């Protein structure tokens, strides 16, 4: 009896399905009948189709990201931000005031081998130095700034025409005090970034324990060059010898301060009291990279004007643009106290901590991408 009832219910269900199918066909629909196996195959097919579509979309996105260099340097740009934050923390903790000065100025410092970008009769700053010194003349004793600077036609593996510069100035000190500042600053950054007192760069381990090596320019020429510094100046090949023969040997395992430059290569630097042929100027090298340029500040307006005029004459002889004399700056030197100042390239600093041999790798945009 139970089997008969089950068969009757099944037959009624089949008749209902046939009736529904006949009705749907009369409306123009195509009716498909599936077994459980058919349903399973359909599920597998849909799942595979979804996976293929997702993969294609993912690969398209990856290809799209590969078209952007910026997508490949996210870690470096995050590192850059951390380094700049560490720089600010260092100076703020030491009671320096962060300042901002104009980027567009009427007259840059007339230095023979640094070319400014002209803009409607004025110039984009090559350095904030002149304005920051005027602030010191106005009574600011400890100041720093992180800003954009511009150098016309400077482009290379370590050079950009638009660069990020850190500059700081303090009264009462000299270039030896700035060397200590550099040791403390970069040590502070290293502890924030790496957690230690060393960094790796291009297969070299750089030890940051102080004191760092000090070497005079004269000693460097005697050790690494085939002629003296005076001979190089006389033959007008000082920079060439520095770049090709000396710089690659500086700071391979420990940072090195190269100090006491010839007076003619320190247009805004104070001369050494015991030797007027030398300027109280230094540059810091780490793994062969020139990182900063600091000096005891010249505060004599008459002497500074004479040096600027000499630089202008050199520019004339090289058929370069001759800049207006920065008269307001010269006037302010009458009120400027003894001081020292340093300019450090942020882009190159990031290169060192990012272990990058190319400056392009540490900036969000290069000139060619604009």
C-alpha to C-alpha distance for 125 and 148, rounded to whole angstroms = 8
User: Model confidence at 48, in pLDDT bands (50, 70, 90)?
Assistant: confident
Average pLDDT over residues 334-343: 98
pLDDT in tens, 227-251: 999 999 999 999 999 999 999 999 9
User: Model confidence at 28, in pLDDT bands (50, 70, 90)?
Assistant: low
Phi (first) and psi of residue 18, to 5 degrees: -65, -40
Query: Beta-carbon neighbour count of residue 304 at 10 Å?
Result: 19
CA angle 288, 294, 300 (to 5 degrees): 150
Please report the pLDDT score of residue 51 as a whole number: 74
pLDDT in tens, 306-315: 999 999 999 9
Give the residue, 353 or 34, on which the prediction is more confident. Answer: 353
Q: Which CATH superfamily is domain 73-369 in?
A: Bira Bifunctional Protein; Domain 2 (3.30.930.10)
Please report the pLDDT score of residue 50 as a whole number: 75
- The residue to which tokens 């799942």 are assigned: 47
Given the DSSP bridges, would you call strands 339-345 and 289-296 parallel, antiparallel or unpaired? antiparallel
Please report the pLDDT score of residue 1 as a whole number: 47
Cα 322 to its chain centre, rounded Å, is 29
Please report the pLDDT score of residue 64 as a whole number: 58
Q: What is the pTM of this model?
A: 0.83
**Annotated domain spans of the chain:** 40-68, 73-369
C-alpha to C-alpha distance for 292 and 7, rounded to whole angstroms = 96
């Amino acid at each position: 009896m139970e089997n008969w009832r089950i068969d009757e219910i099944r037959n009624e269900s089949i008749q209902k399905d046939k009736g529904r199918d006949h009705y749907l066909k009369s409306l123009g629909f195509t009716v498909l009948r599936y077994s459980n196996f058919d349903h399973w195959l359909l599920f597998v097919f849909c799942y595979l189709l979804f996976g293929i579509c997702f993969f294609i979309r993912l690969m398209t996105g990856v290809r799209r990201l590969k078209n952007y260099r910026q997508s490949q340097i996210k870690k470096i740009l995050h590192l850059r931000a951390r380094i700049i934050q560490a720089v600010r923390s260092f100076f703020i903790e030491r009671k320096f005031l962060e300042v901002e000065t104009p980027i567009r100025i009427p007259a840059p410092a007339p230095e023979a081998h640094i070319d400014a970008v002209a803009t409607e009769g004025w110039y984009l700053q090559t350095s904030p130095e002149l304005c920051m010194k005027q602030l010191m003349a106005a009574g600011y004793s400890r100041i720093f700034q992180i800003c954009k600077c511009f150098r016309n036609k400077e482009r290379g593996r370590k050079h950009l025409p638009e660069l990020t510069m850190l500059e700081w100035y303090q009264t009462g000190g000299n270039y030896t005090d700035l060397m200590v500042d550099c040791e403390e600053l970069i040590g502070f950054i290293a502890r924030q970034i790496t957690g230690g007192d060393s960094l790796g760069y291009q297969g070299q381990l750089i030890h940051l324990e102080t004191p760092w090596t000090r070497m005079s320019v004269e000693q460097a020429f005697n050790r690494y060059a085939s002629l003296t510094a005076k001979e190089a100046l006389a033959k007008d090949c000082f920079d060439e010898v520095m770049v090709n023969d000396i710089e690659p040997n500086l700071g391979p395992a420990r940072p090195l301060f190269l100090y006491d430059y010839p007076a003619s290569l320190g247009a805004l630097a104070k001369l050494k009291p015991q030797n007027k042929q030398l300027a109280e100027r230094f540059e810091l090298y780490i793994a062969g990279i020139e990182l900063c340029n600091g000096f005891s500040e010249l505060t004599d307006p008459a002497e500074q004007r004479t040096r600027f005029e000499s630089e202008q004459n050199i520019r004339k002889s090289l058929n370069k643009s001759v800049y207006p004399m920065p008269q307001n700056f010269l006037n302010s030197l009458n009120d400027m106290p003894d001081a020292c100042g340093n300019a450090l390239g942020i882009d190159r600093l990031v290169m060192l901590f990012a272990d990058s041999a190319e400056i392009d790798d540490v900036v969000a945009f290069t000139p060619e991408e604009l």
